[in-house]
């Protein structure tokens, strides 16, 4: 109890010596430092961009979206086909068979024997 009384006295002395620490002083000080809005004459308002620029941006965004959203190509394996022959059919070279294999690791168990009728993804 004695500690509480001492603490109250010390707090009272501090507030009397430094009135800026009190809650009332901080509230009164905030009213004095209010930010006043700038008059309308001084405010600058930028015009909207011309409609032609907006249309150009929209069509550019649409072009980008169509480029990124392409459906994958598929190939169904028929008799006698190999990864090299499928690579030649889609890429014009037999050397890109590894690309097809990487895209279809879950379907292809043996690289030398493709099962008839399996559907392979042909990456871009």
Cβ atoms < 10 Å from Cβ of 84: 14
* 101 neighbors 108 (Cβ within 8 angstroms): yes
pLDDT digits (tens, 9 = 90+) for 28-53: 655 555 566 656 555 566 666 666 55
| pTM metric for this prediction | 0.45
HSE value, Cβ hemisphere, 13 Å, CA-based, for 24: 4
Residue ranges and CATH numbers for the domains of the chain are 69-122 (3.10.350.10)
Between 73 and 66, the more confident residue is: 73
Separation CA 92–CA 100 (nearest Å)? 13
């Amino acid at each position: 109890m004695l500690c509480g009384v001492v603490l109250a006295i010390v707090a009272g002395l501090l507030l009397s010596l430094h009135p800026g620490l009190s809650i009332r002083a901080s509230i009164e000080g905030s009213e004095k430092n209010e930010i006043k809005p700038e008059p309308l004459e001084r405010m600058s308002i930028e015009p909207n961009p011309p409609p032609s620029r907006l249309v150009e941006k929209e069509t550019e965004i649409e072009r980008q979206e169509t480029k990124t959203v392409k459906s994958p190509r598929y190939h169904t394996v028929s008799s006698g086909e190999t990864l090299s022959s499928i690579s030649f059919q889609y890429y014009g070279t037999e050397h890109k068979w590894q690309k097809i294999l990487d895209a279809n690791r879950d379907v292809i168990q043996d690289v030398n024997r493709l099962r008839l009728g399996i559907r392979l993804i042909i990456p871009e």
